[in-house]
Amino acid sequence: MQIKVVKLYEKGFMTQPFAMGGEDGEEKFDRKIKYRSSLQNYVIDTGSEVILVDTGLPSETPPFSADPDSSIYIGSKIRDYVDALKEAGYTPDKVSKILITHKHEDHTGELRAFPNAKVYIGPEDADAMNLNGPNIVRATYKDGPYYNFPSSQKIADGVYFIKACGHTNGNSLIIAEKDGLFFLFHGDITYTDEALYENKLSIVYENKAAARETLDNVREFIKNHPTVYLSTHTPLGIENLEELRVVDLGKPTATLPLEDIVYTTASGRYVCSVCGYVYDPDLGDSSQDVDPGTPFSELPVDWKCPRCRQGQDKFNPA
């Protein structure tokens, strides 16, 4: 089995309140503290089939414009998903299965590029996305407990799709077993590894109690199994894989300084940093009675992302 990274965005940041304020409140944390952010997905090559974990943002997503006041800035694009996958050594026709951690567009954006692959996804998220067709597999978690996780489904030898609700109602995680190590792939159970060590939820979830239970289960698993923690939104995910770094909850990985941030001119459009929705002032938002021609700065104070219901402070200029 080989595990590879699909590198998509780099040199971003997230604030401590965003990453850790889900239970205690954002006001308990310091906005001046920022952690490195990125966007990457992963490939599990079993030798007999190629399995993807998530499929990045849609290729047409406009570039994000860095704003120092943003709660999270994913970073600057390295390449589109399919091109990044080719960089890792694979073409779409070689992919047999796709394991979706959750419904947000930065994890599902290029599903369309793989019409022949079987797509495994939590049923609640499949319903929310209105996913249908012979290639869509709504997870049944038919194989019962996986160690301390209550529900799982075996995907291939050594690869398990595990129910892990909270961030979204259909959220899942994936564990691959290799050479005595457990590789834990997750979407946004934590946005950064610092939150894993501090045992803190981010501010983004659909069910806080379920998100807490999932994080507790993850930490319990890590205590009892040599685990390489493969995150989506921090370069620590890449570094953990490269170094085969096993999590020790008593010895947090060092927080490194931010990389150089590239600041660009904004276009007037804004992108939700949580789910990838693009607010275009030329179009407005008919779902919330926002007329075409309404600048982002003039949106009603109670306007929220129509896709994931996050507030305006989670949007970055594009």
Are 310 and 174 members of one domain?
Answer: no
Residue 251 in any domain: the answer is no
Strands, DSSP E only, in 30-75? 34-45, 50-53, 72-73
Are 309 and 167 members of one domain?
Answer: no
DSSP 3-state assignment of 231?
A: coil
Are 149 and 190 members of one domain?
Answer: yes
Residue 266: pLDDT over 70: no
CA-wise closest residue to 313 among 71, 8, 66, 10: 71
Banded model confidence at residue 260, pLDDT cuts 50, 70, 90: confident
Nearest-5° angle of CA 195, CA 277, CA 95? Answer: 80
Are 93 and 176 members of one domain?
Answer: yes
| pLDDT at residue number 64 | 82
Q: pLDDT tens digits, residue range 121-174?
A: 999 999 999 999 999 999 999 999 999 999 999 999 999 999 999 999 999 999
Tell me how many domains the chain contains: 2
Domain that holds residue 302: 270-317
Strands, DSSP E only, in 157-269? 159-163, 172-178, 181-185, 227-230
Are 276 and 134 members of one domain?
Answer: no
Structure-token pair, residue 19 = 């990453």
Are 89 and 169 members of one domain?
Answer: yes
Are 162 and 297 members of one domain?
Answer: no
Residue 254 in any domain: the answer is no
Q: Domain with 204 in it: what CATH number?
A: 3.60.15.10
Residue 63: pLDDT over 70: yes
Residue 303 in any domain: the answer is yes
Residue 13 in any domain: the answer is yes
Residue 261 in any domain: the answer is no
Cα separation, 6 vs 36, whole angstroms: 18
Residues 6+ apart with CB under 8 A from 298: none
Are 197 and 304 members of one domain?
Answer: no
Are 189 and 71 members of one domain?
Answer: yes
Are 44 and 181 members of one domain?
Answer: yes
Contact 79, 276 (CB under 8 A): no
Residue 264 in any domain: the answer is no
Are 115 and 229 members of one domain?
Answer: yes
Cα separation, 82 vs 286, whole angstroms: 32
What is the edge-to-edge ordering of all strands in the sheet holding 227-230? 144-146, 149-156, 159-163, 172-178, 181-185, 227-230
Are 218 and 308 members of one domain?
Answer: no
Percent of the chain exceeding pLDDT 70 equals 98
Percent of the chain exceeding pLDDT 90 equals 86
Q: pLDDT tens digits, residue range 84-96?
A: 999 999 999 999 9
| pLDDT at residue number 313 | 85
